[in-house]
Amino acid sequence: MLSRVAKRAFSSTVANPYKVTVLGAGGGIGQPLSLLLKLNHKVTDLRLYDLKGAKGVATDLSHIPTNSVVKGFTPEEPDGLSNALKDTDMVLIPAGVPRKPGMTRDDLFAINASIVRDLAAAAAESAPNAAILVISNPVNSTVPIVAQVLKSKGVYNPKKLFGVTTLDSIRAARFISEVEHTDPTQERVNVIGGHSGITIIPLISQTNHKLMSDDKRQELIHRIQFGGDEVVKAKNGAGSATLSMAHAGAKFANAVLSGFKGERDIIEPSFVDSPLFKSEGIEFFASPVTLGPDGIEKIHPIGEISSEEEEMLQKCKETLKKNIEKGVNFVASK
């Protein structure tokens, strides 16, 4: 017999039955991300797909006594990918290759663009209403790829397509706390633009640390922009950030599900189809967004920024425009 408290707790979890699919679940990010999703009580149906390893990861996670059913899917079984996606509420895509030292994220385009395009096409067929969270790099180009594919299938909903840039904000919070000797859990840094090098713009002028010396601030900005390289170098050929990324991906996924649930004031940064610089031909831009039952409820403006940040923004826009066009042209040319 369940106690009254236990019964109430159980019914509150099953009241929000979200189906979530991870494409690339056997990989460096996919595995810990799937673990964190298995621990999320908003998820009741967790589907893991990968070219290899998804069944093993799913069986392993299925022994954890949380309120979700986990199932692994492979391309070898009939309709493996479409069954993984069928009527799911959210699709997370960390499928694709990671960087090795000396590579830029853009160098991954040659392999990852077609992986993401094909997975987006499958999602369009089997889960046309799902939120799609793109992790695979280069995010500045893979998100426009997904948008083009969904448009070509007539199911594009800009409110439900997200490039996951959460890792930039969590790095910014951590790194600023290290130089300012503060509590990292209390730091919030608004990071806008895109997800690669100079397109990543941490708005230090909007924090409580605007009086930092120029040298210290410039070093901090550089570290946030190139934090990914720090991990790639330390892993020395074995890939890029996976564990911090899994945390970032699970945090963002939880925010999207909280929005679906109708929780209020859920605000996270994300690289989205944005009106902010559309007049300059920049279709996608990362800035804080409010999440609601239908996905994006509001895209927040960037607010007041310093002249240094204004200069960074100009450079960011030049690169971002090219990255976005590259993704759009890739789909158009096929």
Binding residues for NAD(+): 24-30, 50, 112, 135-137, 245
Calculate the alpha carbon distances from 116 to 91, 92, 122, 199, 325 in Å: 12, 11, 10, 21, 16
What angle, 0 to 180 degrees and rounded to 10, lies between the N-to-C axes of helices 227-235 and 214-225? 60
18-57: which residues touch ligand LMR (CB under 6 A)? none
Asked if 300 contacts 183 with a C-beta cutoff of 8 angstroms, the reply is no
Q: How far is the CB of 23 from ligand LMR (least distance, A)?
A: 17
> Between residues 143 and 204, which has the closer beta carbon with respect to ligand NAD?
143
Distance CA 235, CA 243 (A): 12
Q: For the chain, count helices (H), then strands (E).
A: 11, 11
- Please identify which residue in 40, 242, 254, 323 interacts with ligand NAD, judged by CB under 6 A: 242
Report the alpha-carbon angle 269-271-276, nearest 5: 90
Positions at the binding site for substrate: 99, 105, 137, 171
- Please identify which residue in 13, 16, 41, 97 interacts with ligand NAD, judged by CB under 6 A: 97
**Per-residue string for binding with ligand LMR, 199-238, x by CB under 6 A?**
-----------------------------x--xx------
> Between residues 97 and 122, which has the closer beta carbon with respect to ligand LMR?
97
272-311: which residues touch ligand NAD (CB under 6 A)? none
Q: Phi and psi at residue 204, in whole multiples of 5°?
A: -65, -30
Positions at the binding site: 24-30, 50, 99, 105, 112, 135-137, 171, 245
Distance CA 42, CA 68 (A): 9
Stretch that binds ligand NAD, among 39-47, 96-104, 176-184, 282-290 (CB under 6 A): 96-104
Query: Which of ligand NAD, ligand LMR, none does 232 bind, CB closer than 5 to 8 A by kind?
Result: ligand LMR
195 part of the active site: yes
CA 272 to centroid of chain Cα atoms: 11
Spatial CB neighbours of 247, under 8 Å, sequence gap ≥ 6: 32, 36, 170
The residue annotated as part of the active site, out of 195, 209, 247, 300, is 195
Neighbours of 15 (CB within 10 A): 10
Q: How far is the CB of 167 from ligand LMR (least distance, A)?
A: 5
DSSP-assigned states of every residue in 258-292: HHHHT-S-EEEEEEEE-STTGGGT--EEEEEEEEE
Q: How many residues bind ligand LMR (CB under 6 A)?
A: 10
Q: Phi and psi at residue 60, in whole multiples of 5°?
A: -55, -50
Q: Is 42 exposed, middle or buried (0-12, 13-18, 19+ CB in 10 A)?
A: buried
**Per-residue string for binding with ligand NAD, 3-32, x by CB under 6 A?**
--------------------xx-xxxxx--
81 lines the binding site for ligand LMR (CB under 6 A): no
- Please identify which residue in 139, 143, 149, 313 interacts with ligand NAD, judged by CB under 6 A: 139
Q: How do strand 90-93 and strand 18-23 relate by DSSP bridges?
A: parallel
Active site members: 195
- Give the footprint of ligand NAD on this chain (CB under 6 A): 23-24, 26-30, 49-52, 94-99, 108, 112, 115, 119, 135-137, 139, 164, 167, 195, 239-242, 245
- Give the footprint of ligand LMR on this chain (CB under 6 A): 98-99, 105, 137, 167, 228, 231-232, 240-241
